Amino acid sequence: KAGVTQTPRYLIKTRGQQVTLSCSPISGHRSVSWYQQTPGQGLQFLFEYFSETQRNKGNFPGRFSGRQFSNSRSEMNVSTLELGDSALYLCASSLGLAGVTDTQYFGPGTRLTVL
Amino acid sequence: LAKTTQPISMDSYEGQEVNITCSHNNIATNDYITWYQQFPSQGPRFIIQGYKTKVTNEVASLFIPADRKSSTLSLPRVSLSDTAVYYCLVGAFYNQGGKLIFGQGTELSVKP
């Protein structure tokens, strides 16, 4: 079974630009979550999508948005990039069930560098 | 939400058994304990999950005492490739508001 895939793996942008990251979940998984990881803040939750709807949201500004398609693939968009947005962006997928053992599986991440 | 406490770093040598203990005094009755491994610039990798007593898979063992206020991840005969950050998480994905909360993790360094 293929794992979670993320594209692109590396990205360099300049301040003020926008960027779109893509995530393909494990087949059969309907929940996709996004996290930002930086050396100073660690792993922080951005948002979660289930059945094309944003179900949970973290404490990030509105410049960070996402969407999910009918095949469960998800995209994350960051507009008006700031230097502080430089980070490893991780996508995780799970079955999306409300059970206690619904395990999240992470992709390799997209390394975004903002100059 | 159950807060977890782990050692910030540990050192070991190749071939040794490594035990990383995580404290979670406020664990709830229906909380599971999950461990992830993360290499630099990669996503966390699921290692093992358990509720009580002992769980073993091809990679590691997880020991959970009866009071469940702590858990120990055991890595048998570590190699250099086990050098990574290990995270202990407590609680179900949806019981935590639909997100995983990662602490600082334990940075394991395996030396030859």
pLDDT at B36: 95
**Order of strands, edge to edge, in the sheet holding B18-23?**
B18-23, B70-75, B61-64, B53-56
Q: Contact B108/B84 with Cβ under 8 angstroms?
A: yes
B43 and A107 in contact by Cβ < 8 A?
yes
B99 and A48 in contact by Cβ < 8 A?
yes
Residue keyed to tokens 């998984």: A29
* DSSP-derived pairing of the beta strands A53-57 and B9-13: unpaired
pLDDT at B2: 64
pLDDT at B94: 57
Q: How confident is the model at residue A70 (pLDDT cuts 50, 70, 90)?
A: very high
Query: Angle at the Cα of B80 (from B78 to B82), degrees rounded to 5?
Result: 60
pLDDT at A14: 97
Which stretch of B6-20, B31-45, B81-95 has the lowest confidence by average pLDDT?
A: B81-95
- Tell me the mean pLDDT in the region B80-89: 95
Chain A hits for B100, CB-CB cut-off 8 Å, are 33, 35, 43, 45, 92, 104
pLDDT at B1: 54
Q: Contact A50/A96 with Cβ under 8 angstroms?
A: yes
Q: How confident is the model at residue B90 (pLDDT cuts 50, 70, 90)?
A: confident
Which stretch of A9-18, A32-41, A66-75, B73-82 has the lowest confidence by average pLDDT?
A: A32-41
Q: Is the peptide bond before A25 cis (omega within 30 degrees of 0)?
A: no
CA distances from B62 to A62, B28, B89 (A): 40, 18, 13
pLDDT at A73: 98
d(CA B25, nearest CA chain A) in Å: 19
Amino acid at B32: Y
> Rounded to whole angstroms, how far apart are CA atoms B27 and B1?
8
Please give the residue of chain B at the shortest CA–CA distance from A49.
Answer: B98
CA distances from A89 to A29, A47, B57 (A): 19, 12, 29
Does the pLDDT value for residue A1 go beyond 80? no
Over the stretch A13-55, which tens digit does the pLDDT of each residue have? Answer: 999 999 999 999 999 999 999 999 998 888 888 999 999 999 8
Does the pLDDT value for residue B63 go beyond 80? yes
* A98 φ, ψ (degrees, to nearest 5): -85, 30
pLDDT: which is higher, B95 or A100: A100
* A35 φ, ψ (degrees, to nearest 5): -135, 150
The DSSP 8-state label assigned to residue B3 in this structure reads -
Q: How confident is the model at residue B19 (pLDDT cuts 50, 70, 90)?
A: very high
Amino acid at A69: F
pLDDT at B30: 78
A92 and B100 in contact by Cβ < 8 A?
yes
Does the pLDDT value for residue B95 go beyond 90? no
